[in-house]
Amino acid sequence: MRLWLLRHGEAEPRARTDAERNLTEGGRRDVRRSATFLRGKPLQVVLVSPYQRAQQTADEVCKALGFSGRRETVDWATPESDLEEALRALDLRGESDLLLVTHQPFVGNLAGWLVNGSHSEPLPMATASLAELEGEAIAGGLMQLASLHHVG
């Protein structure tokens, strides 16, 4: 099983609400660079936070890859989402190759939990960073960090 975790690209500093912040042009460019590390990977589904900057990040990735497979907006992938809720949702998935587009601090905490089995060791994830995790199951401490790419 492979899980790719992508933090959204650089977003504008302000909007009416945090959820409405858009990607900057530099953020879009960085996301397209991150997408190059996904070329040729057998993605089955793209799961995306409902926040605007994550949706735009997924748009850029799907366009860069020519990905026309399933894409789902998931409300459990926002910046302050509950790890246990996210792990339950991921555990119910039937796919073996997933991309999750989300935010800090959630993405770093999720990756840290999956790799280290600890809440105290989050994975550092800058904007547009892409982590590839591999393992038999999506569970705390049972996945290995296969690669981590920072492009910004």
45, part of any domain: yes
Task: Judge whether 46 and 72 are in contact, CB under 8 Å.
Answer: yes
H helical segments located in the chain: 25-35, 52-65, 83-91, 106-116
- Tell me the three state secondary structure of residue 89: helix
Whole-number pLDDT of residue 40: 96
Question: Residue 50: pLDDT above 90?
Answer: yes
Binning pLDDT at 50, 70 and 90, where does residue 152 land?
Answer: low
Q: Return the CA Rg of the chain.
A: 14
Question: How many domains does the chain fold into?
Answer: 1
Q: Which two tokens stand for residue 102?
A: 């989300």
149 vs 151: CA distance, rounded Å: 6
The reply to whether 59 falls in a domain is yes
User: What is the reported pLDDT for 65?
Assistant: 97
Owning domain of residue 117: 1-147
pTM (predicted TM-score): 0.97
Kindly state the average pLDDT of the residues 79-96. 95
Task: Assess whether pLDDT exceeds 70 at residue 66.
Answer: yes
